[in-house]
Chain A
Amino acid sequence: MATVHDRSRKPVRSLPQEPRESLTVAGLLSQALRDKCGARRSNTATGLLGTYGIGLPNSESALNITMEMAPQMVIETEGLSKVYGRQRALDGVTVQVAPGAIGLLGPNGAGKSTFMKCLLELAPITSGSARVLGREVGREGREIRKRVGYTPEQDCHIPGMVGCEYVTYCAQLSGLPFQAARRRAHEMLDFVGMGQERYRKADTYSTGMKQRLKLAQAIVHDPELVFLDEPTNGLDPKGQVQILELIASLWRTYGITVVLSSHLLQNVDRICEQIIIIARGRLLVHDTLENLKARRRGAAEVVIASRHQELQAACARRQWPCEVLPNGHLKIEHQAASLNPLLQLLHELALAPLEIIPSPNALEETFVQALEMSHAAA
């Protein structure tokens, strides 16, 4: 049966607790007239509460979400700046972030890691202020870190320890008594999919094992918020998918807010609901992925088994640009805020699509646009 779904949710489909969002085409056709596709994603606290740089029409959605959920912010910064010598790594970042799965995007050297380090007090703030989980950075560092997990980008572990001993030790450093720490260490190592390797010294682990170990130590104390700095670095595609599924489940299933820093847009696109784009130390965009996609909505990738030319001809009649992608999909720019006109066309042609991907590459386009505007402003 054909399904219409958002590409970003694909990898987490296999999770048992994940609410399924697939709709049949028949059902969708009748529903399409009253539902916007994006409305289905408003089940979590997401909202635009700090936009800087490119201003786009999003205040309505932000207001709605704020009124509906009124979530306590997990991160609040005001003019946050960090200077290393002559280099300004963060430049007056003001943002308020609600709980959720948050993607922190930016090119290499944009200031993503510095932003996280400042919030964890790993790097002292030069100016401005920040609060994490309601506690002030710079004054309540220990209390913040007791409730926050962190996986650094670089390879790091406490030397000379076997995996489970290491995770136990990290739990104890976060304040868990030994017995509880040991039990939770094994639970978390099970959770991240480590088997008997846990009894080997961490120095001997492969990159994939080390990434899993880093994730286990970050969540072993049951944090409310986890900062993940490039957690898929050095992983093969299968390993990436597995780690991303685990990360996605942290928020969607277990309610742990995740801040995922990455320069890989597809990773963020898969699991995040809020997007923060940083470049040159400045906050360029903070919005929900849904809103970002909505701004780009007007294009869709359609997968059909046959009758490509017929569909292309129909699109041409409506003056919708249409091209065949290398993978055989049809990219149609229907120029509407919703998929309804496209679905209507498919209905008229009696075409049953195998898959419709709304707003393909929306995140990439937004990212590139934000960077271009940043460069232009500089």
Chain B
Amino acid sequence: MPLHDTSYQHWHGIHLGLWGRRWVIARHGLGACLQIKGMRQLVVLCWAAGLAMTGLLFLVGQLLVADSAVVQWLSNLNPILQASAQLLTTWLEQHPEISVRTTQDLLLYYFATYLMRVGIFALGMTIPLLITRDLARNAIIIYASKAVSRGDYLLGKFAAASGLIALTWLGPVCTAWFLGNLLAPDWRFFWHSRAALGHVLLFGLGSMSILSLLALGVSAVSAKEKSTPAFWYLWWIIGGLVGPIAAQTRPWLQHLSFNYNLDQLALGVFRLGTDLKLAQDNIPVVGDLLRNINPRTMAALNSPALGGASLALFLMLALAAGIIAWRVKPE
């Protein structure tokens, strides 16, 4: 016999608002993803990479200021290094805004695009947890019978996927930017590198939304938990392999890879060609060194295939939305 009252009790409390209920779905989705041990390890790895990036930005920042601790330390080591460092900083100090902007844009571009691959890998691990399992266990009908709509459910799942990308990608990159500038020898570094942050946020948030929606679409393709991640990874890997091969004969085939399209988007957002041109024109010696960059690389940096990438991504998103609309129904 129970020691307490087990009869039915009425409840007279205040209900959560709509956003509160959406947040519950998102939090639950993200929590389920983080229950995977490999995912937790991946998140730790990403943040460790973010800290490493902070260290790199700190070192670069030190090199850009003449009286910084690193330059002083290098000067004390060797007279030749002292002369080189002074020469370098003198050139760079002539246009600190261009030096800082170009350096951080370049570093954060590479960091963001490489870490994006980790985010894509992480999404692949958690794709079954987004919609696939709910389809397999008829959980959609449970959600649909509660005080949330199909749109609320999808918004919650979208937020969960975005949260995962934020944890593995956008968070470490933005933190690296912030800490790197916080540890820089001059507060003006924040101001000079504002464009880099803007680029990171623009590209990061855009790609996060695109990848989240694509992941939801793939997650809704099947109710089999092994099929959907396999589909995601195959799409990613085959797209990555086909792209370089097809580039010579049928360049449009490259756009079948969402990774390639996002890379083009990154080039369009960061506009590295403009940064390098500015450095070439305004910073002595260093600018001359930058002129030695491969012309094909410069051409690729200057004119990314934005039109094709945008169209391909739009079609992929439309397909994903169609799959979601078709599959995620309580009936």
Determine the main DSSP class of B at the interface with A.
loop
Nearest chain B CB to A236 CB, angstrom units: 22
Contact (Cβ within 8 A) A145 B7: no
Contact (Cβ within 8 A) A145 B147: yes
Kindly state the separation between the CA atoms of A210 and B158 in the bound complex, as whole angstroms. Answer: 29
Q: Which of B112-120, B138-146, B168-176 contacts A (4 or more CB under 8 A)?
A: B138-146
Interface positions of B from 113 to 155, Cβ below 8 Å from A: 129, 133-134, 136-139, 141-149, 152
Most buried by B among A122, A157, A253: A122
Nearest chain B CB to A181 CB, angstrom units: 9
Kindly state the separation between the CA atoms of A254 and B10 in the bound complex, as whole angstroms. Answer: 8
Contact (Cβ within 8 A) A152 B16: no
Kindly state the separation between the CA atoms of A170 and B11 in the bound complex, as whole angstroms. Answer: 15
Residues of chain B lying within 8 A (CB to CB) of residue A170: 142, 146
Asked if A177 lies at the interface with its beta carbon under 8 angstroms from chain B, I say yes
Residues of chain B lying within 8 A (CB to CB) of residue A148: 145
Asked if A326 lies at the interface with its beta carbon under 8 angstroms from chain B, I say no
Q: Which of B11, B35, B146 contacts A222 (CB 8 A)?
A: B11
Nearest chain B CB to A242 CB, angstrom units: 13
Asked if A146 lies at the interface with its beta carbon under 8 angstroms from chain B, I say yes
Residues of chain B lying within 8 A (CB to CB) of residue A188: 8
Residues of chain B lying within 8 A (CB to CB) of residue A203: 137
Contact (Cβ within 8 A) A159 B141: no
Given A123-B331, A159-B134: A150 and B139 within 8 A (CB)? no
Asked if B9 lies at the interface with its beta carbon under 8 angstroms from chain A, I say yes
* Binary B-proximity of A242-262 (CB < 8 A = 1, otherwise 0): 000000011001100000000
Asked if B18 lies at the interface with its beta carbon under 8 angstroms from chain A, I say yes
Given A145-B146, A160-B133, A173-B25: A122 and B141 within 8 A (CB)? yes
Kindly state the separation between the CA atoms of A249 and B6 in the bound complex, as whole angstroms. Answer: 13
Contact (Cβ within 8 A) B11 A174: no
Asked if A141 lies at the interface with its beta carbon under 8 angstroms from chain B, I say yes
Number of interface residues of B (CB under 8 A): 40
Kindly state the separation between the CA atoms of A180 and B145 in the bound complex, as whole angstroms. Answer: 20
Contact (Cβ within 8 A) A155 B8: no
Residues of chain A lying within 8 A (CB to CB) of residue B138: 152, 154-157
Most buried by B among A143, A158, A160: A158
Kindly state the separation between the CA atoms of A222 and B141 in the bound complex, as whole angstroms. Answer: 19
Residues of chain A lying within 8 A (CB to CB) of residue B133: 159-160
Residues of chain B lying within 8 A (CB to CB) of residue A156: 137-139, 141-142
* Binary B-proximity of A152-185 (CB < 8 A = 1, otherwise 0): 1011111110000000011011111100100010
- Give residues in A with beta carbon < 8 Å to B: 117, 120-123, 141-143, 145-146, 148-150, 152, 154-160, 169-170, 172-177, 180, 184, 187-188, 190-191, 203, 217, 219, 221-222, 249-250, 253-254
- Give residues in B with beta carbon < 8 Å to A: 2, 4, 6-11, 13-18, 20-21, 24-25, 28, 32, 35, 129, 133-134, 136-139, 141-149, 152, 330-331
Other contacts beyond A158-B134, A158-B142: 6, CB < 8 A: A122-B330, A122-B331, A155-B137, A157-B138, A184-B11, A254-B8
